Homo-oligomer: A and B are copies of this chain.
Amino acid sequence: MEKKKVVVGIDIGGTNTVFGFVDREGHILTEDKIKTNYYDEVEVYIAALYEKIMVAQTKIGFDVEIIGFGIGAPMGNINKGTIEYPADLPWKGIIPLADIFKRHTSLPVIVTNDANAAAVGEMIYGGARGMKNFVVITLGTGLGSGFVIDGKLVYGHDGFAGEIGHTAIRPGESNRDCGCGRKGCLETYVSATGIKRSLLKIMADSIQPSNLRKYSFEELDAEMIHDAAKEGDAIAIRAFEHTGRMLGFKLADVVAHTNPEAIFLFGGLALAKDLIFEPTKRYMEQNLLNIYRGKVKLLESELSTQNAAVLGASSLVWSIKEQK
């Protein structure tokens, strides 16, 4: 009997690394994860990850054949197979991720930006099926983005297109430090961490009561702010409003640059639905030139938060295999 071909899709996040065995139809046969931030050394991390993948394969049996590994990672560079200066990972500088991974396998290993991977996933399995021009914004620990123009993912000259998270909110004078070493980047406002920072700032400035005042910065997370806002907590609602204001403002730039049919929001913060979509849409429209107004759809990703990046990473391998 012929073995079922699968690609291992791997999504490297700041906290967890999730992987799944994905077949040609986009079914995930099995999925598991390891802690990213547990490993100070990338070689040890890759060895542990590969080991865990091999264990997963023994569990689903050997009638499955792995044909390649697709890796989505922050600052992943598809041209070079590297991760370069990731702001949210434990390793610094330029990391030759594909080369390190290839010490364990002779199969194809493709590295790309995790947000680019999510965009390909949206195009192949999700709400962007049939669309030629769209953008996916991933809202996790940081903020990533993937641009699809004319049906193709945009890599740019050096492989780093689609880093909207590290565009600045205003010229100079911003006081929010970013993990990338600069100040005022969009992801310092629009991300799970960004909304916590906004919440603290609003808490400091206002005298409104809030249940969230009893929690420390470290105890707080985006989900707690989401829950509080749903229950009418004024400060939590203002934190979402501010997050949407900043996101909408910069999405207007994305529209002016590339005029997409739709922008998809993906990840934890997007689960807050209207709390984030309504202010984002309002401020985006406010900042749009009239020719674009009311035309660009702001949509929820149709991929489940947990699977999209894994599917996206895997789809890259299928698409490259089939182009050959």
Task: Judge if A295 is at the interface, Cβ distance under 8 Å.
Answer: yes
Of the four ranges (under 10, 10 to 19, 20 to 34, 35 or more), the interface on chain A belongs to 35 or more
Contact B258 A156 (CB under 8 A): yes
Q: Which residues of B lie under 8 Å from residue A158 when comparing CB positions?
A: 259, 291-292, 295
Contact A161 B258 (CB under 8 A): yes
CB-CB nearest in chain B for A290: B85
CB contact under 8 A between A257 and B161, given known A169-B170, A287-B168: yes
Contact B252 A254 (CB under 8 A): no
Contact B152 A150 (CB under 8 A): yes
Per-residue CB contact flags for chain A residues 149-175 toward chain B (1 = under 8 Å, else 0) read 110101111111111101111110000
Q: Which residues of B lie under 8 Å from residue A290 when comparing CB positions?
A: 85, 180-181
Contact B164 A249 (CB under 8 A): no
Residues 239-283 (chain A) with a chain B CB within 8 angstroms: 245-246, 249, 252-254, 256-261, 283
* Bound-state Cα–Cα, A283 to B170, Å: 12
Q: Which residues of B lie under 8 Å from residue A155 when comparing CB positions?
A: 259
Task: Judge if A54 is at the interface, Cβ distance under 8 Å.
Answer: no
* Bound-state Cα–Cα, A89 to B217, Å: 53
Q: Which residues of B lie under 8 Å from residue A133 when comparing CB positions?
A: 156-157
* Bound-state Cα–Cα, A75 to B259, Å: 13
Contact B261 A157 (CB under 8 A): yes
Per-residue CB contact flags for chain A residues 215-255 toward chain B (1 = under 8 Å, else 0) read 00000000000000000000000000000011001001110
* Bound-state Cα–Cα, A278 to B320, Å: 41
- A181 to nearest B CB, angstroms? 7
* Bound-state Cα–Cα, A150 to B258, Å: 14
Q: Apart from A75-B291, A171-B245, A182-B289, what 4 extra A-B contacts exist at CB < 8 Å?
A: A163-B257, A164-B257, A253-B253, A257-B257
The contact sample of 28 A-B pairs, CB cut-off 8 A, is A75-B291, A84-B291, A85-B289, A85-B290, A133-B157, A149-B149, A149-B156, A150-B154, A154-B259, A156-B259, A157-B259, A157-B296, A158-B292, A159-B259, A161-B258, A161-B259, A163-B256, A163-B257, A163-B291, A164-B256, A166-B256, A168-B287, A171-B283, A171-B287, A180-B289, A181-B290, A254-B257, A258-B258
